[in-house]
């Protein structure tokens, strides 16, 4: 029996909210092959960002004008000043990058669930990127979260049962509440999603 590593893929919030910001330092393309992203490989102390791609070895074009994922891998991912290394999982490849200070600050805000506290520039980048990748419906919902849209706020308040009586007191939905839950650190650690699977030779 051969031990092979199997990867469970559960799309993270970092893919939606952080990839657009990371795209400013490392161009993210071949989005259909980008299966997930992670803030850590196997240690929460790392200041990293990981891209999990489904590997595609097809190349198109002639010498000097070749296109395809392997070209992108060699010319963009592996030549980046932030590139730290990669791990090959057969069908998938995980690329690891170091993060500059500005992006670490954004990452920390997302981990704390403080979407509305991101800078205006970051919010615009996130909305525009998701508009290109996912379309207007998803982009609009993300925009509502980032800008604490009043209609969405009313929906969230109703879903959570506000207004409510707590300890004999009448309470409204908190004005400073964010409209989406914080990122779950356990979901952002890649090592949590690798399992060993036995296959016959």
pLDDT at 62: 63
Mean pLDDT across the stretch 142-160? 94
DSSP state, residue 91: S
Mean model confidence pLDDT for the chain: 91
Q: What is the CA radius of gyration of the chain?
A: 20
Other CB atoms within a 10 A radius of the CB of residue 18 amount to 25
C-alpha 155/C-alpha 24 separation (Å) is 33
User: What DSSP line would sit under 119-163, residue for residue?
Assistant: -HHHHHHHHHHHHHHH-HHHHHHHHHHHTT-HHHHHHHHHHTT-S
pLDDT tens digit sequence for 115-149: 999 999 999 999 999 999 999 999 999 999 999 99
C-alpha 108/C-alpha 193 separation (Å) is 22
pLDDT tens digit sequence for 2-34: 446 889 998 999 999 999 999 999 999 999 999
pTM of the model: 0.89
């Amino acid at each position: 029996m051969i031990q092979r590593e199997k990867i469970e893929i559960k799309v993270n919030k970092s893919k939606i909210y952080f990839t657009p910001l990371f795209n400013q330092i490392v161009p993210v393309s071949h989005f259909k092959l980008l299966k997930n992203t992670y803030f850590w490989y196997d240690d929460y102390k790392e200041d990293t960002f990981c891209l999990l791609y489904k590997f595609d070895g097809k190349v198109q074009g002639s010498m000097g004008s070749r296109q395809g994922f392997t070209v992108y891998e060699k010319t963009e991912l592996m030549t980046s000043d932030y590139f730290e290394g990669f791990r090959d999982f057969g069908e998938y490849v995980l690329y690891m990058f170091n993060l500059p200070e500005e992006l670490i600050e954004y990452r920390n805000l997302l981990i704390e669930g403080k979407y509305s506290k991101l800078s205006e520039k970051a919010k615009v980048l996130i909305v525009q990127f998701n508009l290109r990748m996912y379309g207007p419906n998803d982009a609009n919902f993300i925009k509502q979260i980032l800008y604490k849209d009043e209609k969405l706020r009313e929906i969230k308040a109703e879903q959570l049962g506000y207004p409510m009586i707590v300890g004999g007191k009448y309470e409204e939905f908190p004005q400073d509440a964010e409209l989406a839950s914080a990122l779950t650190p356990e979901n952002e650690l890649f090592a949590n999603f690798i399992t060993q699977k036995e296959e016959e030779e």
